[in-house]
Structure 1
Amino acid sequence: MPVHRLPDGHGVERFRKRAKTLLRHVRAEVPEALGLVAEFHPRPPRALRLSDAQLVTARMYGFASWPRLREHLATVERYSRSPHLVGPSPEEPEEFLRLACLTYGADHPGRTGETGPLAARRPWLRTANVFTMAATGSADALAAALAADPGAARAQGGPFGWEPLLYLTYARLDTPGEYVRAARLLLAHGADPNAGYLWDGLPSPFTALTGALGGGEGDQPAHPRGLELARLLLEAGADPNDGQALYNLGLGGSFSDDTVHLRLLLEFGLGRGEGGPWHARLGPALPSPRQMLRDELATAALRGGPRRARLLLAHGAEVDGLGGHPAYGGRTPRELALLNGHTEIAEILAAAGASAELDETEAFIAACMRADAGAVAGFGPEPLARALVRSPGLIGEAAGGRRPAAVRLLAGLGFDVNHLRRSTPLHTAAWNDDVETARTLVELGADPSIRDTEHDATPLGWAEHGGRHRVAAYLRDLG
């Protein structure tokens, strides 16, 4: 029986109200409510009580009982942090840490650089407390502090209520520190290698490993000693099935076919085991290790990573396994590769026995995305007409995949080069720092003055905000 996705950021009172609403609808004989009871109650009673409605509500979201759901929500509340919402502090050590660390919501370029002048004026901040010692990699001072108080290695504090290990792995400072030595000291004194928090209550934990590897929707940088710290954490017992780290370097943010982080995680057991302590805490809210491998292969197919695809297949990824994120659309990896013009990956998957079923319009779209003008011409006008209705933003997808030849072909077929949903294709090329695609779009009539619907910014604004210097220079030259 398919379960519903647990809504993000809601406490137990929200679910109590849902159970009461369900009870009320069942008593009113609303068909949808009766269907839920039939599907999710193990022994539907003749007269539903509130406890039955609570059981159905829990099972709808993958929990065996109402107490299990309440326990999960209490766990989410316990570990929830919102570092991006923490405002400036008059306490200088707190303010130093607030500016020094990635928060995944307020990480505009140059923000962590603001710590430089502050530290220059107040050099004592580096060793003000165990949290600043960790963030700055001040290993000698940290060794003395931990010798005096070993429990400080697991203390929670600072502006974000984090443990020292999190301040260390999320810090992004220009001045070098002895970060690996400092991390060893913390781990030797009992720091949890699986330390983490739930960003704004979302169920995917941002762990110390996540912080070390970086990445994400803002293309946050890795820690300057990121891979060394990641290996140290894994050797100390960090679980390699880290869904947020995988998302940050895969589906989220800009994509590269680099496999270094995947090789490291696979070496320590990615895709195997029970999922570690976070899976024990959060249960059905997190994907299984096996599902994480499916998601990674789907990401490689969707975004164009042949090296990743080969590596994942060599480590047992299911060739037709479906990714769980809505971005995959319930497609097999080979279908995703075909629909996004990634011919090499489609061939790799086909050689491994992958399947794909595309209707005529989808096959037409696949030909467009691989810029196969001959194949496109062979379809005739009807698939084009259907594609224009079904996928009006196809040029944006081609731009996001860095496919200028496909952009040119699609524009010639009548797809709108300025199609605006959340943003335009030129916004996408600007965020990718993709000058070739941006130039192609402009030559085809893309308007660089159009503003996106979320931030009210032009493509140049996106490029400047994201530090995309090459495409920013090109767009400025347009005047």
Structure 2
Amino acid sequence: MAPSLPVNPSLERFRRDARRLQRAVRANDPEALAHVSRHHPSGSPADPAAFALTAAQHVVARAVGFGSWPRLRAYLHTAEELRRDPTTSIVDDDPLARFLSLACLTYSPGDGPDRWNAAAEILRAHPDLPSRSLHVAAAVGDASAVARHLDADPGGATHQGGPFGWTALFHLAACRVPQRDPVATARLLLDAGADPNAGYLWLALPTPFTVLTLCFGEGEAGPGRQPRHPAGDELAGLLLDRGADPNDAQTLYDRTFARDDGHLRILLPAGLGRGDGGPWQRRLGEALETPVEMVQRQVDWARDRGFTDRLELLASYGFTEGRPATAPSPWRPKGPEPPVAAAGTPDGVRALAAAGGDLNARFDGHTLLHHAAWIGDVELVEALLECGADPDVVDDQHGATPLGWAEHGQAEATAAVLRLRSRT
């Protein structure tokens, strides 16, 4: 199963958790005993007063998805080497560092057009940056400047740099400032030895952000704030041709929420769901889901959300089975959901409305109209409004309307539709 870890997990934190659990079990705490019963292969200890620290460590490891304490410890050692934190603000007077930190997707709350506009301003004020840095030259897709850097340093394509310790190829995929010729630039870097599987562990969590991930873009903040790379599909095809493993778990997660299946139409023919998982599987072992498990989650989500086209596409490659019902999954609903949660297409919305279903029912604290507005799905928003969904309903957490969600998510296309219908 996929581990469930806190951000920036540390061995010391888990050691403290194990010591606390040991003390609680020895004190006959019912909650602690139940926790041990759920996660230790032997169940509740016969003699709580003699509950060993090694047993507590075993329970702590299994509770977060690892088979044993040594396996958890090994993952944390590996993760520390691969961990990056691009969410921190870069306080640096160097325009080069500031440009790279602002120009690229970081998967932090600050992502969005304001950052990229600020990066573009820095570049206009310092047009020599691409000549000063291979990483900047790659970020702006300046093939000529990249070629000059590689002539001067033939090994530069493998070097990590910039404020986040990324390779030049990764900067190219992550940048959202307009680029000159990203595909030609990527080809130069790959010819010079750049790793098509380069990536990092975001805050040491076990799903790697790879070059492919940044090409395909999107994620929880929505396509307005974390858009696809403008040449992402072409870049992804080039990377796959040069050896990138198609079993990219973070891409699958980021692109799960909307109906578009363009990423799957690229990854499935390249071997998604098959093979040994590539270099990241070898690095992370059980911390990373297997290729089959990754695709099983896609089947689950498509079935749960009514993505019929996605189910047909997956089935055409032989993938029809989801995860076992007993498998823990943050993707699987924790309780019953209203029928509208499974009406994720315009046709699904119309069918539910014709059957008298409630289009304004909430799941995860919001309505389907909120979700459609956030992900920029104009057709889904229009179908919901056409069938009577309330454009002025507010969500549970923020008290915001679907229009508010669209505007915050920089989803201008759905915001424009909702402005015409909103009464507030």
Deviation at 1:36, TM superposition (A): 5.5
Structure 1 counterpart of 2:402, one-letter code: P
Q: Give the SS at the match of 1:294.
A: helix
Q: Give the SS at the match of 1:197.
A: strand
Equivalent position of 2:201 in the other structure:
198
Q: Which deviates the most, 428-437 or 241-250? A: 428-437
Please tell me whether the aligned partners of residues 61 and 72 of structure 2 are also in contact (alpha carbons under 8 angstroms).
yes
Q: 2:244 aligns with which of 238, 247, 252?
A: 238
TM-score (norm 1): 0.74
Structure 2 counterpart of 1:272, one-letter code: R
Structure 2 counterpart of 1:226, one-letter code: G
Deviation at 1:184, TM superposition (A): 2.5
Taking the aligned partners of 2:276 and 2:89, their CA distance within structure 1 comes to 34
Equivalent position of 2:350 in the other structure:
405
TM-score (norm 2): 0.82
Identify, as 1 or 2, the structure richer in helix.
Answer: 1
Structure 1 residues 405 and 117, CA gap change in structure 2 (3 angstroms): same
Structure with higher RCO (Cα < 8 A, 6+ apart): 2
Equivalent position of 1:312 in the other structure:
314
Equivalent positions of 1:294-333 (< 5 A) are 294-319=296-321, 321-322=323-324, 325-329=329-333
Structure 1 residues 149 and 464, CA gap change in structure 2 (3 angstroms): same
Please tell me whether the aligned partners of residues 23 and 50 of structure 1 are also in contact (alpha carbons under 8 angstroms).
yes
Could you report, residue by residue, the CA deviation over 1:266-309 in whole angstroms, capped at 9, with x for unpaired residues?
A: 23321122212222222222211111121222233233444432
Taking the aligned partners of 1:38 and 1:429, their CA distance within structure 2 comes to 42
Q: 2:57 aligns with which of 28, 32, 54?
A: 54
Kindly indicate whether residue 119 of structure 2 is the aligned counterpart of residue 115 of structure 1. yes
Q: Give the SS at the match of 1:222.
A: coil
Equivalent positions of 1:71-150 (< 5 A) are 71-87=74-90, 89-105=92-108, 106-109=110-113, 111-150=115-154
Taking the aligned partners of 2:38 and 2:373, their CA distance within structure 1 comes to 46
Structure 1 counterpart of 2:195, one-letter code: D
**Percent same amino acid among aligned pairs?**
43
Deviation at 1:95, TM superposition (A): 1.9
Equivalent positions of 1:11-410 (< 5 A) are 11-30=10-29, 31-32=33-34, 35=37, 39=41, 47-87=50-90, 89-105=92-108, 106-109=110-113, 111-174=115-178, 176-217=179-220, 218-219=222-223, 220-250=226-256, 252=257, 254-256=258-260, 258=261, 260-319=262-321, 321-322=323-324, 325-329=329-333, 391=337, 394-395=339-340, 397=341, 401-402=345-346, 403-405=348-350, 408=353
Structure 2 counterpart of 1:275, one-letter code: G
Structure 2 counterpart of 1:123, one-letter code: P
Structure 1 residues 453 and 305, CA gap change in structure 2 (3 angstroms): closer
Could you report, residue by residue, the CA deviation over 1:210-247 in whole angstroms, capped at 9, with x for unpaired residues?
A: 11122222123322221222122222222111011112
Structure 1 counterpart of 2:385, one-letter code: R
Could you report, residue by residue, the CA deviation over 1:67-110 in whole angstroms, capped at 9, with x for unpaired residues?
A: 33112112223222232332454221122222221122222245
Taking the aligned partners of 1:306 and 1:3, their CA distance within structure 2 comes to 26
Kindly indicate whether residue 382 of structure 2 is the aligned counterpart of residue 436 of structure 1. yes
Structure 1 residues 90 and 276, CA gap change in structure 2 (3 angstroms): same
Structure 1 residues 168 and 45, CA gap change in structure 2 (3 angstroms): farther
Deviation at 1:3, TM superposition (A): 9.1
Please tell me whether the aligned partners of residues 427 and 458 of structure 1 are also in contact (alpha carbons under 8 angstroms).
yes
Deviation at 1:5, TM superposition (A): 3.6
Please tell me whether the aligned partners of residues 40 and 56 of structure 1 are also in contact (alpha carbons under 8 angstroms).
no
Taking the aligned partners of 2:283 and 2:2, their CA distance within structure 1 comes to 19
Q: Which has the larger radius of gyration?
A: 1
Structure 2 counterpart of 1:132, one-letter code: V
Please tell me whether the aligned partners of residues 203 and 285 of structure 1 are also in contact (alpha carbons under 8 angstroms).
yes
Equivalent position of 1:460 in the other structure:
403
Taking the aligned partners of 2:80 and 2:229, their CA distance within structure 1 comes to 28
Q: Give the SS at the match of 1:147.
A: helix
Equivalent position of 1:356 in the other structure:
none
Q: Runs of 5+ in structure 1 lacking a partner?
A: 332-389
Taking the aligned partners of 1:214 and 1:73, their CA distance within structure 2 comes to 27
Taking the aligned partners of 1:430 and 1:227, their CA distance within structure 2 comes to 24
Structure 1 counterpart of 2:198, one-letter code: A
Q: Which deviates the most, 131-140 or 454-463? A: 454-463
Taking the aligned partners of 1:12 and 1:299, their CA distance within structure 2 comes to 33
Please tell me whether the aligned partners of residues 16 and 54 of structure 1 are also in contact (alpha carbons under 8 angstroms).
yes
Structure 1 residues 44 and 270, CA gap change in structure 2 (3 angstroms): farther
RMSD across aligned C-alpha pairs, in angstroms? Answer: 3.4
Q: Would you say how many aligned residue pairs link Structure 1 and Structure 2?
A: 407
Taking the aligned partners of 1:246 and 1:322, their CA distance within structure 2 comes to 19
Please tell me whether the aligned partners of residues 429 and 437 of structure 1 are also in contact (alpha carbons under 8 angstroms).
no
Taking the aligned partners of 1:84 and 1:212, their CA distance within structure 2 comes to 19
